[in-house]
Amino acid sequence: MIQQAKRLNKRSDSTTQQLNNTMNRQDEFKKVVAHCKEYGFIYQSSEVYDGLSAVYDYGPYGVELKNNLKQYWWKSMVQMNDNIVGIDAAIFMHPKVWKASGHVDAFNDPLIDNKDSNKRYRADQLIEGYMDKIEAKINKEIAKAAKRFGDAFDEAEFRKTNPRVLANAEKHAATAKRLATAMTNEDMGDLKAMIEEYGIACPDSGSKNWTEARQFNLMFSTQLGNIAGEEGKLYLRPETAQGIFVNFSNVQKTTRQKLPFGIAQIGKAFRNEIVARQFIFRMREFEQMEMQFFIKPGTQDEWFEKWKEKRMQWHTSLGHPAEKLRWHDHDNLAHYAKAATDIEFDFPFGFKELEGIHSRGDFDLSQHQELSGRKIQYFDSETKENYVPYVVETSIGCDRMFLATMSNALVEEQVPGSDNMRDVLKLNPAIAPVKCAVLPLKKNEPGIVALAKKLHKDLSFSFNTHYDDTGSIGKLYRRQDAVGTPFCVTIDFDSMEDQTVTIRDRDSLVQERVPMERVEEIVKEKVDMRKLFS
C-alpha cells in the first residue's frame, strides 16, 4: 500500500512535454551520464564484470560532490536548528520493525513477466507507458495546430474543442482512474486485464504473452548467522526513517528535547526495484537524507506548511531555478499519511520526485509501541499529559539530488572571444568538489613548480585544492571547468619576482592579478557554505 499509493500519485498529473523537446532532452541526459563517467563522478558498479544493474559507485569527484550535498543538508538541519539532532542508526534492524512499519505486508510493486522474452516488468509502469503514448498523441495534435495557427493559437480552447484531443484526453483519464482503483485495491487481475485489453506488448520482444500479475516485495532479505529459518530473517532497510522512530525515546531522554523537535539521519537504503532505469534516479542501493519532526497532535498542518517552505528554499538557495522545481500533492494517500507532497525536479527525462514531505500522524510510533509492548510517548510538562507525538517527515534521496545538481549545472557553451566550445559544470562554489586548482605555467621551470606546490599545500589546509601540470594551460582550464572547479590559479615567471598570481573565475572567465598571500582569503570567502544560508 505504502508503495502503491505513492507511485500512483506520481502519475496523476503527468507533464505535457513538447514532443520536439524530447529528443534534445534525451541527448542532454546521455551527455550527463557520459560526463559523470568520463570525469570520475560515477562508475557502474563491478564494471569489469559487465556491471551490476542499478548499482553505482561514486568516483573521486563524485564522492566530493555527494559529501558536499550531504554536508549542506546536515548543516541546514542539525547545525542550524537547535531543536534538530542527528543520529546514525544501523542498517540491520529487528525484523519486527518492518512488520510494524507495514513494509513486510505492503511494500510491494505489481510484477508481470513476458513468457516469450522472459523479461520482467512493473504492471503499473506498462500501463503508464500506454498512457504516455495517448498523451504523446495529444501533444502531437497540439504541436501541429500550433504550427498551423501561429500566434493566434489558443491551446486551452483547442484542448476543449478538438474532437481527437477530447477523445484521447477522455481515454487517458479513464485509464488513469482504472489504474488508480486497481492499485489501491491491489487488484492484480484487473492490472493483467488492462494490459491485455489495451494490447500492451513487451517493449523488448513485441510479444503479448503475459503471466498473471503478482505482488513483489521490494525488501532485500538476508539471514542472521546463528539462527536458522524465519526467526533469523533480516532485511536491508528500505528507508532510514524507522531507525529514527525506534530511537525516539532514547534520543528524547538523552538530549532532553521538548516538542517540537526533530531527528535527522543520512544513510543507505535498499530496494529491490523491479525495473531500475534512468541511471542513479532509481537504484537498488541508494542513500537517503531524512528528518522526522515530532510535534504535538493538532499542530501538524502548520508544521507541514513550514517544512514545505523550508525545503523548497533549501533547493532554490543552491541555485536550482524555480521553474525546474514544482510541487506535486498526493491525491491518493498512503494509509498512514494525513497529507503528502513531493518536490519534483525537471530531470532531463521530465518532472519526477526528488523529495517527499509527509505528514505521518502518529502511525509509526503507535505501531512500534503496539508491537514492541514498550511505551513510546512524550510527557508534556505544560499540559501534564502523556501522548504519542505526531510526525512531519522530509525525505530526500541523495543520489537523486546529485543527479538533479549535475543535470542543472552541466552546460556546453562557446568560450567568450573564441570559436572553441567548453563543457562547464556551473556548480555553486560551496558544493564544488574542488575549490581551487593551482596550475604552473611551465612544468619544467623548478622555481615556478616549487612555488605552485607550496601554494597548493598551504591552500589544502583550508579547502580541497588540486595541483595539475599535465598539459597546456588551456587544457588544464578545460578539465577544471568540466569538474566544476570555481577558481584556477596560475603561477608564472612574474610570480617568482613579485609573489603575485593570476586567479581565474570559472563562470565569468575574468582573470585577476592578486598577491599570492591573498588567494586563500579570496577563495575561502567565495566558497563559504554560509552564503547558502543567508
Region of 96-104, 172-180, 257-265, 354-362 interacting with ligand ATP (CB under 6 A): 354-362
Asked if 397 is part of the footprint of ligand ATP (rule: CB under 6 A), the reply reads yes
The yes or no reply on residue 391 touching ligand ATP (CB under 6 A) is no
Select the residue interacting with ligand ATP from 76, 114, 288, 490 (CB under 6 A): 288
In angstroms, what is the minimal distance from the CB of 266 to ligand ATP? 12
Strands of the sheet with 108-113, listed across from one edge: 120-122, 108-113, 214-217
Binding window for ligand ATP (CB under 6 A); candidates: 88-96, 197-205, 350-358, 412-420: 350-358
Contacts of 138 (CB under 8 A, 6+ apart): 16, 159, 165, 168, 169, 172
Which among 6-14, 80-88, 412-420, 463-471 is the span making contact with ligand ATP, rule CB under 6 A?
6-14
**504 sits near ligand ATP (criterion: CB under 6 A):** no
Nearer CB in complex with ligand ATP: 191/269: 269
Residue 92 has which C-alpha cell? 540491520
CB of 311 to ligand ATP, least distance (A): 11
List the one residue from 245, 286, 294, 390 that touches ligand ATP (CB under 6 A): 286
Binding residues for ligand ATP restricted to 220-259, rule: CB under 6 A: 239
Residue from 102, 110, 356, 361 that binds ligand ATP (CB under 6 A)?
A: 356
Specify the 3-state DSSP secondary structure of 205: coil
Give whichever of 109 and 135 is closer to ligand ATP, judged by the CB atom. Answer: 109
C-alpha closest to that of 188 among 137, 125, 123, 143: 123
The whole-angstrom separation of Cα 271 and Cα 401 is 18
Tell me whether residue 282 or residue 466 sits nearer to ligand ATP (CB atom). 282
Shortest-Cβ-distance residue relative to ligand ATP: 397
273 binds ligand ATP (CB under 6 A): yes
Q: Which residue has the cell 520536439?
A: 20
Helices (H) and strands (E) in the chain, counts: 18, 23
What would the 3-class secondary structure string for 34-101 be? HHHHHCCCEEECCHHHCCCCCCEEECHHHHHHHHHHHHHHHHHHHHCCCCEEECCCCCECCHHHHHHC
Joined together, the cell numbers standing for residue 368 give 512500534
Q: Nearest CA to 278 among 21, 32, 14?
A: 32
122 binds ligand ATP (CB under 6 A): no
Q: How many residues bind ligand ATP (CB under 6 A)?
A: 20
3-class state of residue 384 by DSSP: coil
Among 4, 5, 7, 195, binds ligand ATP (CB under 6 A): 7
Distance CA(13)–CA(32), nearest Å, equals: 26
Least Å from the CB of residue 411 to ligand ATP:
24
Q: Is 355 in the site for ligand ATP (CB under 6 A)?
A: yes
Q: Which of 186-194, 348-356, 361-369, 449-457 is the region at the interface with ligand ATP (rule: CB under 6 A)?
A: 348-356
Contact 260/303 with Cβ under 8 angstroms?
yes
Q: Can you tell me the distance from the alpha carbon of 175 to that of 196, in angstroms, rounded to the nearest whole number?
A: 13
Cα(313)–Cα(33) distance, rounded to whole angstroms? 27
Q: How far is the CB of 506 from ligand ATP (least distance, A)?
A: 28
In sequence order, what are the residues at sequence separation of 6 or more whose Cβ sits closer than 8 angstroms to the Cβ of residue 355?
Answer: 311, 315, 342, 343, 394, 395, 396, 397, 400, 401
Residue 207 CA to residue 191 CA, distance in Å, equals: 17
524 exposed, middle or buried (CB, 10 Å; 0-12, 13-18, 19+)?
Answer: middle
**Does residue 360 interact with ligand ATP by CB under 6 A?**
no
Give the contact letters, 449-468, x = binds to ligand ATP (CB under 6 A), - = no: --------------------
CA distance 225 to 219: 19
The nearest distance, CB 91 to ligand ATP, in angstroms, is 15
| Closest CA relative to residue 104, chosen from 114, 112, 91, 94 | 94
Instruction: State in angstroms the smallest separation of the CB of 274 from ligand ATP.
Output: 11
Least distance (Å) between residue 240 CB and ligand ATP: 9
Stretch that binds ligand ATP, among 158-166, 394-402, 446-454, 458-466 (CB under 6 A): 394-402
Question: Is the N-terminal amide bond of 260 cis, ω within 30° of 0?
Answer: yes
By C-beta, is 10 or 296 nearer to ligand ATP?
10
Among 6, 330, 368, 504, binds ligand ATP (CB under 6 A): 6
Residues 481-500 within binding reach of ligand ATP (CB under 6 A): none
- Measured from the CB of residue 468, what is the shortest distance to ligand ATP in angstroms? 33
Q: Which stretch binds ligand ATP (CB under 6 A): 3-11, 79-87, 180-188, 525-533?
A: 3-11
Residue 395 contacts ligand ATP per CB under 6 A: yes
Distances (CA, A) of 317 to 312, 321, 353, 430, 533: 9, 9, 19, 11, 7
Give me the residues that bind ligand ATP (CB under 6 A), please: 3, 6-7, 10, 239, 271, 273, 282-283, 286, 288, 353-356, 395-397, 399-400
